[in-house]
Amino acid sequence: MNHKNDFLAHHAPWGSYSSFILGNVGMGGGFALSDVHSPNQSVYIAYRRGDELPFVFPFLGAATVKAEDFDATAANKDQPRTSRVLQPEEFERTYKWASDTWSHGGLRFSVLAPFGEVPELSGLSDLDRKLATCPCVIATLEFDNSGSTEPARVLFAMDGISRAFEVDTAGRLLGAAYRRSWGFAAKAGKNVSELQTFDAMSQTFTPESAFPANKKQHRLGGAGGLILEVAAGEKKTLVIALGAYQDGLVTSGQEASFAYTNDFPSLESALEFALEHSDHYIELAKKRDAELEASTLDANQQFLVAHATKGYLASTELLRRANDGQLLWIVNEGEYRMMNTLDLTIDHLFWEFRYHPWTTANVLEHFLDRYAFTDSLKLGGAGGISFPHDMGVSNAFSPPKESSYEVADLTGCFSHMTMEQLLNWVLCATCYGWKYDRAWLKQHADALRQCRDSIFTRDADGDGVMDMDTARVGTGMELTTYDNVDEALGRARSSTYLASKTWAALELLAACLESLGDDVTAVRERAASAVKTIVGYSQSRGGALPPHLDEAASKTDFVMAIPAVEGLVYALTNDIAIPQELQDVMRQHLEASFKRGCITERGGWQLSSGSHNTWMSKIFLNQFVAEQLGLKTEARAHEEHVRWQRHGSRLTGPTDQVASSDGAPIGSKLYPRLVTNVLWLEDAKQS
Amino acid sequence: MNHKNDFLAHHAPWGSYSSFILGNVGMGGGFALSDVHSPNQSVYIAYRRGDELPFVFPFLGAATVKAEDFDATAANKDQPRTSRVLQPEEFERTYKWASDTWSHGGLRFSVLAPFGEVPELSGLSDLDRKLATCPCVIATLEFDNSGSTEPARVLFAMDGISRAFEVDTAGRLLGAAYRRSWGFAAKAGKNVSELQTFDAMSQTFTPESAFPANKKQHRLGGAGGLILEVAAGEKKTLVIALGAYQDGLVTSGQEASFAYTNDFPSLESALEFALEHSDHYIELAKKRDAELEASTLDANQQFLVAHATKGYLASTELLRRANDGQLLWIVNEGEYRMMNTLDLTIDHLFWEFRYHPWTTANVLEHFLDRYAFTDSLKLGGAGGISFPHDMGVSNAFSPPKESSYEVADLTGCFSHMTMEQLLNWVLCATCYGWKYDRAWLKQHADALRQCRDSIFTRDADGDGVMDMDTARVGTGMELTTYDNVDEALGRARSSTYLASKTWAALELLAACLESLGDDVTAVRERAASAVKTIVGYSQSRGGALPPHLDEAASKTDFVMAIPAVEGLVYALTNDIAIPQELQDVMRQHLEASFKRGCITERGGWQLSSGSHNTWMSKIFLNQFVAEQLGLKTEARAHEEHVRWQRHGSRLTGPTDQVASSDGAPIGSKLYPRLVTNVLWLEDAKQS
């Protein structure tokens, strides 16, 4: 069993698609750019008091880690130990909403990745825009030597650098960088110095080593860092900015660059800005940390919210399109790097509505302008408007009307999700317009009407449940977002999960179109049909919903699947009335699911009784729905889910698809989608 | 013993600091950008005739290679083989000056990296400038199906790509790329199609696999390529451009971008240009190939020249400085990535004089403008002008007057090389000016005079041999370029190697300054003193030179070191008369060296009898000197040196520092410096 302090975390500036990664014992960390994987380069956080052996945190990459540092018994007895690598039980790690802090002895190293509301950039002052988009996070390196009679030396350094800053910035900054791409810096000052060398530890702490102590600058060295001297009896804090810089055009298909490059001409300028405004970032991080701590969430929930937040931020990307200057908001799909996957967009909705609803509108318009298509149905006839799964992958925009994910002629993973994405666009658009922007709703009335018609077309028999696959599937079959859980959740046609989303989409469409003066009788009737169909199948199964609302499947498929209730979240967060009978059916279904295979022995949630692959983002969302229906999640569920993330998936950060036995990652690693748990805070706010 | 077909080669466009790497069996290859290391990504070169199992060349990276592909006995018997991975003895590899060709059955895959004279860019037409700097090489994929009654399908593909070209280029190009950084393309045409998928082999050759045969485009796939269909009885050739594109500012210290970015706005534009002008590149490659084949060099020498050339080109970088538009020529130091290491510049001289002497002048001026310094001597007093070891590392320019390599207070590797670099600058400058540009000589007369004075100052006793270390060494000692061979070659003071270079530098300075009207009596006298000192020590040691020309060392150090004669090359290539007694001494020294430990049992050259670390670049250079002195290199020496490069160092491409036992790499891997062997061609031209 690994230690609770041993898990990967992303620390990411908003919209920069870059993160500083740290946390796995024995594995290093470092910067990921247009990616979320750790480079596993050594990160040295170390100190020495007087002549004692230095302590170093165990974030040493494969290239630099030595067996004897971890295990004195494995040491070559002829080789003196040169440092003491801290074991995870020896140090403290405090993981908060906007910070991550490691402490040992007098040392306290915090990485702060603050976040908050970001209004539309066009309405911001230059300073506020730069504060919001600066591609840096802040670290503080504190050392309390007040109780000591010996001076202390403290090191923060990283492997993988190629240059140092002092000379290139005319002495203003100290620190190091890899080319023009990423780096870290502190303001020059008394008791601080810059290091570039082959071996950060021996250069800093072993004056008798190959390089004399006064030679801190060897430009061939691949390790760079900052050294802080703390006299006996003193307490000092060094503020460090850590940042990444991706210059020029970074995408294909549509050419775009990072929005921040307009304001920051270089890595150095961004780091310098972050240092000048470090108070702002430190205060903002404190505010967020305090806010989560003051919430009604228990400690486990707080961990899950903090973890999800860091994963979301790491995948965010704010671009400016080259041909017209248009800002483009992208949330990349964790390890998969797909861009604005629409079935993730809808799960990021609650987060974005809390902090920057305009980014949702940006994505919706981008889908409408470039990716919307009109299809035919597999069984013949016109389909209607819908949207592809995503906008591309790995900074390559797909061609108009196409995703990177979907392929024809398949019945499983990689098939089309046309109905699901249609519902996702409608739900995002109506939720956004209804709550935040009625004018936007009016502007997009025609698109909403086309979507209404398209939903109708795909429900040929009028029972409120999708029954028509798009012709895009070829010989294959349509899927839902639950593409690889099991067929109970994967197949789109008659999906109970999609039925509840269809009901919600119709209710929100009705509300919105009615507000625009449309006659929405047919829409309301279709929503009522959906309720009737759902309720009908519930009665025929004694209070539990089958995963698919069709005669054949309901008699043979006894899998219980929690996401049947998922669609209710859009009604619950928008004050749309849920018919009492639908509430009752959904509550009964959940109760039955909990009893029949959807709660593990240790209390974890398993989305489908037929699969041990369970998705954290969807658990969190459905927990919110369940609580609203009066079914409070047990505290031990949160405890188990923390165990999954903190232990089972410790190497893969926030991980969506995990094994319900132990939380081992199955897929969707290093993922942004878990941020659905911000719903818990909305809930807390209301109560 | 590995097979002769199994060795790494770089295929690099001139000045682009990028290369397409291929050649190691079982290891993959791919593009290196601002680097020379192989990414070891799978490169698929494969074909299938009719329904037979496809053949694929063995360039599959770790991620994709399967044991059963290499060893049928290791195969899981339940899994059918899906391809036949060619063993090195099954295919032909033809390695020429500007090409590298792999053949099997009807397939012939050639990579062409042509090169030639590049006049100063400012004097070229737009077209000629673009032809010279386009960052692409050309490959030809030929398939001869003329004797077959079955159709054939041929594949060229790579792993690690993130997008395909067809849609992004409106159908003009087919191919694939990693973001905007590197890629390959062919012109769209009949019988050619584009592939993007997870598994290039099964997608191309196994229609019954997971993806139907008509699904060549899955944008999530990380393998991309080109498929050529060849009907029964036909013969077809597909021309492919392979290129890298490094956009924007790429350096620090001085900000600069690649010169080609002015002419080519994107990777696609460069690839398209290369394809439009593929005839030019193919003809140029053929011309170079024919030229080397027609030379008097034996097959082994031809291999060594071709290998050296490819290594040199891979390290070349033509930049444009941002602040003033000045072109900057950089040759990077192979695996070490140091920029314009001056003790490599002098070894690249013969190559650059043959093809683009202006780049030498560019480097000399850059050193003079930014890096020249005036030092003091370690034992006190003024030193004079000199130059640091290099201009920086890994695209980070060092501050003025400083190298990335040199550090104070050391007696070995990483100490200063002040006298060596002074001589190197003088020799480069005088050789360049004397032969190619007398006006340049006049412009730099003052620098030459300062250099003359600085050489004098470092030879305090006036015997023509350096005896004063720079104060920059601190408590350490000055080195020569042979920093890590052994002390016989490493220590600068009294070095016989440096003495012969000092003599040559003084002779060339005398010739040049005399042509400018200076009184050069003192310079000639000092050159004569050097000769006298060298000859004197030769006599005292019975015809062999000690590695250091001082009383103590000459009595205790009986190591034989070939580079004592190295300085003569500058006289030999510039028609500077060599005093008969110096010629005799040098010839005797070589003869003695060959007898006393500098020729291995198998005939290889070992530069120093005291070290098994021998340097190919210097062997080649000194072979030229030896031949000019009448000592013809044995054919078996070339054979042994080919064995070292082709076998011992097969994983590290052209490798400078190798073990004299088997050619295993010791250092200086993937190196540009071996191109000294172009001297052999100069020699052949003369004879």
Q: Give the residue-averaged pLDDT of B358-373.
A: 98
- Structure tokens, B288: 């170079």
Query: What pLDDT is recorded for position B69?
Result: 38
Q: If we measure between CA atoms, which residue out of A575, A572, A657, A652 comes closest to residue A619?
A: A657
The Cα B444–Cα B447 span in angstroms is 5
The Cα A475–Cα A489 span in angstroms is 20
Nearest CA in chain B to A394: B162
Nearest CA in chain A to B411: A210
> With bands split at pLDDT 50, 70 and 90, how would you rate the model's confidence at B639?
very high
DSSP annotation string for A223-281 = EEEEEEEE-TT-EEEEEEEEEE---SB--BSS-EEEGGGGT-SSHHHHHHHHHHTHHHH
The Cα A63–Cα A43 span in angstroms is 12
Q: Which of A162, A395, A399 is nearest residue B179 as measured by Cβ atoms?
A: A395
- Chain A hits for B212, CB-CB cut-off 8 Å, are 409
Query: What pLDDT is recorded for position B130?
Result: 98
Of chain A, the percentage scoring pLDDT greater than 70 comes to: 95
Is 50 exceeded by the pLDDT of residue B73?
A: no
Exposed/middle/buried for B18, CB within 10 Å: 0-12, 13-18, 19+? buried
Query: What pLDDT is recorded for position A1?
Result: 56
Q: If we measure between CA atoms, which residue out of A637, A675, A22, A650 comes closest to residue A305?
A: A675
Q: Is B92 on the interface with A (CB under 8 A)?
A: no
Nearest CA in chain A to B405: A220
> With bands split at pLDDT 50, 70 and 90, how would you rate the model's confidence at A209?
very low
- Structure tokens, B1: 């013993």
Contact A163 B396 (CB under 8 A): yes
The Cα A178–Cα A198 span in angstroms is 14
Q: Give the mutation candidate from A197, A217, A220, A337 for the B interface (greatest B CB count, under 10 A).
A: A220
CB atoms within 10 A of CB B299: 12
Phi, psi of B238 (to 5 degrees): -110, 125
Q: Do A497 and A480 touch, CB atoms closer than 8 A?
A: yes
Cβ under 8 Å to A: B residues 407-426: 407-409, 414
- Chain B hits for A394, CB-CB cut-off 8 Å, are 162-163, 179
Query: What pLDDT is recorded for position A215?
Result: 61
Q: Is B322 on the interface with A (CB under 8 A)?
A: no
- Structure tokens, A54: 């230095």
Nearest CA in chain A to B391: A219
Grouping H, G, I as helix, E, B as strand and the rest as coil, residue B682 is helix
CB atoms within 10 A of CB B5: 23
- Chain B hits for A35, CB-CB cut-off 8 Å, are none
> With bands split at pLDDT 50, 70 and 90, how would you rate the model's confidence at B80?
low
Residue B555: CA count within 13 A, CB half-sphere: 3
> With bands split at pLDDT 50, 70 and 90, how would you rate the model's confidence at A522?
very high
Contact A252 B405 (CB under 8 A): no
Q: Is A516 on the interface with B (CB under 8 A)?
A: no
Query: What pLDDT is recorded for position A193?
Result: 93
- The 10s digit of each residue's pLDDT in A231-274 is 999 999 999 999 999 999 999 999 999 999 999 999 999 999 99
- Chain B hits for A177, CB-CB cut-off 8 Å, are 252
Query: What pLDDT is recorded for position B79?
Result: 53
Residue A667 parent element (H or E) = strand A665-667
Q: If we measure between CA atoms, which residue out of A614, A628, A677, A630 comes closest to residue A303?
A: A677
Torsion angle in degrees (nearest 10) through CA of B273, B276, B279, B280: -40
Contact B396 A219 (CB under 8 A): yes
Min Cα separation B322/chain A (Å) = 13
- The 10s digit of each residue's pLDDT in A105-139 is 999 999 999 999 999 999 999 999 999 999 999 99
- The 10s digit of each residue's pLDDT in B379-429 is 999 999 999 999 999 999 999 999 999 999 888 888 999 999 999 999 999
Phi, psi of B661 (to 5 degrees): -75, -50
Min Cα separation A218/chain B (Å) = 7
Q: Is A398 on the interface with B (CB under 8 A)?
A: yes
Contact B338 A395 (CB under 8 A): no
Is 50 exceeded by the pLDDT of residue B125?
A: yes
The Cα A40–Cα A43 span in angstroms is 9
- The 10s digit of each residue's pLDDT in B603-637 is 999 999 999 999 999 999 999 999 999 999 999 99
Which residues make beta-bridge pairs with A29?
A: A41
Compute and round to an integer the Cα radius of gyration of chain B: 27
- The 10s digit of each residue's pLDDT in A325-363 is 999 999 999 999 999 999 999 999 999 999 999 999 999
Is 70 exceeded by the pLDDT of residue B78?
A: no
The Cα A14–Cα B465 span in angstroms is 63
Chains A, B: CB contacts within 8 A come to 96
Q: If we measure between CA atoms, which residue out of A610, A602, A617, A528 comes closest to residue A569?
A: A617
Contact A407 B162 (CB under 8 A): no
Q: Do A567 and A509 touch, CB atoms closer than 8 A?
A: no
Biggest CA pair distance of chain A: 87
- Chain B hits for A163, CB-CB cut-off 8 Å, are 252-253, 394, 396
Q: Which of A219, A398, A405 is nearest residue B398 as measured by Cβ atoms?
A: A219
Q: Give the residue-averaged pLDDT of B513-530.
A: 98
- Structure tokens, A659: 């094994």
- Chain A hits for B253, CB-CB cut-off 8 Å, are 163, 167-168
CB atoms within 10 A of CB B209: 15
Is 80 exceeded by the pLDDT of residue A2?
A: no
Min Cα separation A248/chain B (Å) = 6
Contact A396 B218 (CB under 8 A): no
The Cα A532–Cα A445 span in angstroms is 28
Q: Do B673 and B662 touch, CB atoms closer than 8 A?
A: no
Q: Is B215 on the interface with A (CB under 8 A)?
A: yes
The Cα B152–Cα A132 span in angstroms is 57
Identify residue B363 by its one-letter amino acid code.
V
Q: Which of B34, B253, B405 is nearest residue A168 as measured by Cβ atoms?
A: B253
- Structure tokens, A25: 């014992």
Query: What pLDDT is recorded for position B207?
Result: 59
Q: Which of B162, B393, B399 is nearest residue A393 as measured by Cβ atoms?
A: B162
Contacts of B676 (CB under 8 A, 6+ apart): B308, B347, B350, B351, B617, B618, B620, B621, B624
> With bands split at pLDDT 50, 70 and 90, how would you rate the model's confidence at A684?
low
The Cα B14–Cα A595 span in angstroms is 70
Q: Is B629 on the interface with A (CB under 8 A)?
A: no
Contact A248 B253 (CB under 8 A): no
Of chain B, the percentage scoring pLDDT greater than 90 comes to: 87
Least confident span in A64-68, A514-518, B385-389: A64-68
Query: What pLDDT is recorded for position B65?
Result: 36
Query: What pLDDT is recorded for position A213?
Result: 43
- Chain B hits for A219, CB-CB cut-off 8 Å, are 392-393, 396, 398, 402-405
Contact A252 B179 (CB under 8 A): yes
Q: Which of B218, B220, B393 is nearest residue A220 as measured by Cβ atoms?
A: B393
In sign, the C-alpha dihedral spanning A208, A214, A220, A223 is positive
> With bands split at pLDDT 50, 70 and 90, how would you rate the model's confidence at A541?
confident
Biggest CA pair distance of chain B: 87
> With bands split at pLDDT 50, 70 and 90, how would you rate the model's confidence at A206?
confident
Q: Which of B250, B392, B408 is nearest residue A215 as measured by Cβ atoms?
A: B408
Min Cα separation B585/chain A (Å) = 40
Is 50 exceeded by the pLDDT of residue A305?
A: yes
Of chain B, the percentage scoring pLDDT greater than 70 comes to: 95
- Chain B hits for A250, CB-CB cut-off 8 Å, are 179-180
Q: Give the residue-averaged pLDDT of B41-54.
A: 94
Min Cα separation A363/chain B (Å) = 20
Q: What is the ipTM of this complex?
A: 0.92
Is 70 exceeded by the pLDDT of residue A39?
A: yes
CB atoms within 10 A of CB B601: 8
